[in-house]
Structure 1
Amino acid sequence: MNWFALLIIISLTLTAFHAGAADTTPTPIEVKKYDSSSPYSTDAPALSASLFQQIPYPAQPGEEVTLLIKTTNHGDEPAENIIWYLDVQEPFELKETEEATQTLPELRCGETANTEYYLTVDPDARSGEYTLDLNITYSGDFDSDRPYLTTKSMIELTIRVMGHPDLVLTDADIPEANLKSEFDAKFSVKNVGTGPAKNVKVCFENQTSILPKISMYYIDTVVPGATVLIESGFFVDTITPSQHPLPIAIYYENETHGMQPAQRYSVLVPVSSGNTLLIYLDSQDELTDGTVGEITIGVANCGLARAKHVVLTIWEGGGFELIDTDTRYIGDIENDDYDTVDFKILPRSDCINITVDASYDDDYGNTYSMTTELPIKVQPSKEKWVLFLQSVGKYAWIFVVLIALLAYLFRKRIKRIISK
């Protein structure tokens, strides 16, 4: 038994010896090499910087924003005399101008430095991403042949700004409408804010007098500074002339789809029943050529609304001469009412009509005008008739002789025909 155990021990010893003697070379360790983004060898300083944090994010127009920049030395040599310079452009400003440049004496390999910049955002800055350039200059041992160099790099920092939309109704082009009629109107909606307005809804709210054909208009996006024109048709469902209100509501969201306060307006729609004037010749004297006479002109309001500040003007033409002024102020004429004015003229026999202008306003300040021609009758003067008769008397005997001669010749011809 002891010999058997001894044999096993000897066998194991010999096996281990031969195995160790078979290959005395140690197994090599695999080393992975990575290509560095730095243009320099690893035995040089290599700085990389990035915008680590923007506070707040996104920035708001008119508010302050802090930029936290992290700079790390990935090289194997320290970086010295480090200078950061932030080139600040609109819509940003540094709180302190001298803070654009910051320095650090040294940044060892593997170390990280935090640099902060404090900016203010222009109140009129619009939504978007803005880029600022950060320049970094530093020195160090880059090459054994040139032991000390200075290098410069530039990094772009992206800053996010989110503005606020603000939609307003800037114009409402509404014509004067008649009772129980239809009309078209135009409305201008402008984004006077700094951010885009999303999912815009312009609603014409129903009320008893003015009824919209389409109650809501949808607009996907209205960018800052843009104006949207909306054209819509309406029904006038009233028999009362007045200025009837038309309620308008504008709903919209900001760019992150946050609901904004609704903008509400009430515009007035002027509704008139119409105030048509009729100008006519009410009466006239027995006008005689060359004699001053008077004509009376009437103005009747055939509409259902009042005509205000009515003025008549007569044109002095070639057939007559005005004796007094050419304008008459009548004033207001209620519906289904009339008024008259008198003019003195000196007519001639060739005068057959006169031209009259009328101007007036409605209850909403609109001005109207119309022109009418009125026929008149003018008789020749008696003096002209007397002169005519006197002229005829002077030459009457000539007419008598001619008539007698014609009668004699005619009778003689008849007798000759009968005798044959």
Structure 2
Amino acid sequence: MKKLMVAFMLLFALSFAGISITDYTVSKDSFQPNEQGVLTTTIVNPTGSARVTALTMSIDNPYEIIISGSTKLSDIEAGGTGIVSIPIKIRPEAKAGVYLVTVIFSGTSYENGVVPNTVTNSVSIPVTVLNQPILSFATDTSSLSGIDTVHVTITNNGGLAKNARLSTSGTISLYGTNEVFLGNLEGSKNITLQLDSRSATNGPEDLVFVMNYEDELGTKHSNDYTIRMTVKKAIVDVTFLQNSDLITRKEGPVKLAIKNNGAKLLKDVRLTFSNTSLRFKDRAELSFGDIAPGATSEVNPTIFADLTPGLNLIDGTLSWVEEDVTKDEAVDFPLTVSSDADVGIYLEAKPTPLIAGQEHTISVLVSNLGSYPIDNVDVHFSSDSFKSLDISDGQYIGNLNNDDFSTVQFKVRVGDVPEGEYQVNIDVSYRDRSGEWKHKIVPQTVNVYSAPVKSGGEMFILGGIVVVALVAWFFFIRKKPAKVG
């Protein structure tokens, strides 16, 4: 798009006699606030033209860009070329964006050496201002021992990084998830991760964070950040598993399991949690019994979790007996909590009632029934008995806070169907607080009525006339008065 715009401006410039602008350059693809640079333009006086004298340059620049330099230029002979450099500086308070600097050249040529003629040409040069994010990572430990909880500080010393997502590559990976959504990064952000180094070899290893984000102008980036770590694998090697869903603020059974990845028998394995937001019914700890090498033990406690949807690392203590020695270790159990997100659907039609073969507007009200906001709400309307008159059968709502609602409209024509009840389907998709995409199809039953018969009123009037005629004949013609004897 930028190349097309440049080509258009150059062609426009070439259409002027006397001087033409054949090219321009910008010293950098983008500038940060308070940064300096140079704009360069090339001007040409075509062969066969008169000499251009008293050549001057004026500049129309936005407030965000400071221009300096001389406005008087040298004369250009016929067939001559001039290169003009324009120093610029971005103001410290400039916002991200693409700004146009318009350069106007004006001079005088003398046709036949006598008649003065003013020649003018201009070019608009786009200058991109962007404060790129500058990210750095720091961990609270440089040692890993298998599955570890690591506190990470992410510092951004540059511009805003939007919709940031963190993942890993290499032999050290995230545990319990493959990606962490961070949102917008500005300043410093502290996060807690559970890292799995069981596939790494003992000794120095690179922990590679992969950061995907968008800059202030919406351009997507993917960068790697490496931290040198030392892997010292622990003796106990277990995997924590969650084999069923846990919905926030709803009590219910949840299948939790521990797998013994080591080579030794683990006896009397117990797990306790210190997080008060996670409460078990009728028990204080989870007992998994003995777990042989490679085996998995599962329990099914009833849990109430007052936790934020998404991956939660729950502080706990794992205890076991190994070779007649009782051991314990502080652990973080990765517990994925699902949102209680749900939507309600309500329909309204205008005009009412729904008439077969006629056009109507169906209003669909979508209500967020969950405890947390939902986003990217998309609504689709479909039915075998209705034909959509819109360009698309879907409407986008966007974000809905909890207890919030929004309405979208669909223009439809009712099919030529008999009077009765018909099903329409409302298809709603959205993303909940945990980042999980939800999809719900809500069938609704609507009543369709037949169109009124157009000649019904005429038939009614005709019938009335016939009745009146019959009554008149009976009383005035057929029923004559009796004669008096």
The alignment's TM-score, normalised by the length of structure 2, stands at 0.41
Query: TM-score, structure 1 length as denominator?
Result: 0.47
Whose relative contact order is higher, 1 or 2, with alpha carbons under 8 Å and at least 6 apart? 1
Q: For the pair shown, which has the larger CA radius of gyration, 1 or 2?
A: 1
